Amino acid sequence: MSSTNTTSSPQNQSPPTRQNNPNPKCKPLSVLCSSALLTLLLAFLLQHHHQLTTLLFTRKQALPLPISTRPPCVLWMAPFLSPGGYSSEAWSYISSLSTTNITLNIHHHADSLSLHFWQGLPENLKSLAYKLHRTTAECALRETIVVCHSEAGAWYPPLYQTPPCPPTGYNDPLFVVGRTMFETDRLTPGHVQRCNRMGAVWVPTEFHVKTFVRSGVDRSKVVKLVQPVDVDFFDPSEHEALVLPGGSTGDEFVFLSVFKWEHRKGWDVLMRAFLEEFSRSDGVALYLLVSAYHSDTDFRTKVASFIQGIGVEEPADGWAPFHVIDTHVPQVDLPGLYKAADAFVLPSRGEGWGRPIVEAMAMGLPVIATNWSGMTEYLTEENGYPLRVDRMSEVTEGPFEGHRWAEPSSNELRVLMRHVASNREEGRKKGRRAREDMIERFSPEVVARLLADEIMKIWKKSHGEE
């Protein structure tokens, strides 16, 4: 077995300066004018956000135009400058909305700033960030729809240090929306209370509609709004495959998995199935793109300890090779990483949506993923390989202790991985269908219409124009 720390030629892009910023007058709470300035702004905000938000969002005189003749004002607060699912989803939403007749402003919220993440963003998203700092000046807060796009613990009042959303409480904005999701079979009572303070709660799948309502969230507030995937960016015809580490011959069948290092992601199920099913002579390799989740990054030691603990005996011809990529891979390089793989696999115990899964599907890869939670919204027998759930298990630690999630079948995972590796043309066919489904149902243009319609409903209803 092998473990490789891969450095992926990040784009050493400096955050834009006044010379290339289309609007050089940086406003407080804007997403970015330069990395140094943003760092200072966020640090100051984390200490003094109550004073700043009160100053920035003092009620202004209502706009004089009739509601029907002016665009809605939207303040979108999310972890725009941090890696992770909420961040990528928020970027995909605001990218979709940027083509609509909506006055949109974005603020960073709910997670710590990562300059590495900013530097790895595509240039079009950086340029978009510069443009979206106008609503504070153009719209009074009482005429603004505020979207709090994060886990509910970050909502007003936040349970940890972060700019609150909504900025000054629930009475000042025109309307407040919570966009959130859960990976288990229920919500905590505290999260239910926070959801019920919102005017509406947007969730990504039918799975979440059921679990939120069953947990006690007001059914009239819960709206399903799927997540878009950038099918133009994640387009296999537009990218070259990255060169993979570990001395790959190019003839191997490459499985790829992308996840945070946490029990929920089912990495233990994946490693056991892979090592039990394959040996070196099978011509199969597994690549893991791993990011830390409240842990150190010594994943090689963690994997070795896991293998020793489960007692899998090394085959006579040696282990099938696997490689851990634990360095930051910029967003701009992700399509090339997917392009280098033959299939994607993630036996997760629960997902809110499953961002890497839909990215892989948009790239035309056959996908093996657990047939439970967020994946059930888009993964079918026609476009992929849904993995059977053996049983439900109880979460034994952390904030969701006592909840339940799925235990995917390790035996079926072995069968599916062997099948996909042995039937390449069938996998390619499913991959093509997967990309077609992503374009038809989850492209930015499709989701933008759904999102804009939902915002217009709120805008008109809030002004008595239903």
User: Is pLDDT at 379 greater than 50 in this prediction?
Assistant: yes
Give bridge partners of residue 404 from the DSSP assignment.
394
Phi, psi of 172 (to 5 degrees): -80, -40
Distances (CA, A) of 455 to 35, 101, 218, 366, 424: 31, 11, 19, 35, 44
What local confidence, expressed as pLDDT, does residue 100 receive? Answer: 86
Which has the closest alpha carbon to 145: 464, 466, 454, 465? 454
Which residue has better confidence, 129 or 256? 256
Q: Per-residue pLDDT tens for 417-426?
A: 999 999 999 9
**DSSP label of 375:** G
Task: Give the mean model confidence (pLDDT) for residues 320-330.
Answer: 88
Which domains does the chain show, CATH number per domain?
A: 35-228+445-462 (3.40.50), 236-442 (3.40.50.2000)
Within 79-197, strands assigned E span: 103-108, 144-149, 175-179
Lowest mean pLDDT, pick from 35-44, 124-133, 149-158, 171-180: 35-44
User: Is pLDDT at 361 greater than 90 in this prediction?
Assistant: yes
User: Is pLDDT at 51 greater than 60 in this prediction?
Assistant: no
What local confidence, expressed as pLDDT, does residue 133 receive? Answer: 63
Number of C-beta neighbours around residue 75 at 10 A: 27
Which residue has better confidence, 412 or 123? 412
Task: Give the mean model confidence (pLDDT) for residues 270-288.
Answer: 97
At residue 209 the predicted structure's pLDDT band, cuts being 50, 70 and 90, is very high
- Length in residues, the chain: 466
Task: Give the mean model confidence (pLDDT) for residues 46-65.
Answer: 44
Q: Per-residue pLDDT tens for 155-190?
A: 999 999 999 999 999 999 999 999 999 999 999 999
Lowest mean pLDDT, pick from 51-60, 309-318, 454-463: 51-60
What local confidence, expressed as pLDDT, does residue 38 receive? Answer: 52
The rounded percent of the chain whose pLDDT value lies above 90 is 66
The rounded percent of the chain whose pLDDT value lies above 70 is 82
- The SS3 of residue 101 is coil
Give bridge partners of residue 52 from the DSSP assignment.
none
What is the spatial distance between Cα 139 and Cα 358, in angstroms, rounded to a whole number? 35
Q: Per-residue pLDDT tens for 72-92?
A: 999 999 999 998 889 999 999
What local confidence, expressed as pLDDT, does residue 312 receive? Answer: 85
Look at the alpha carbons of 263, 84, 205, 413 in this order and tell me if their dihedral is positive or negative: negative
User: Is pLDDT at 402 greater than 70 in this prediction?
Assistant: yes
Task: Give the mean model confidence (pLDDT) for residues 261-283.
Answer: 96
CA dihedral 129, 135, 136, 138 (to 10 degrees): 140
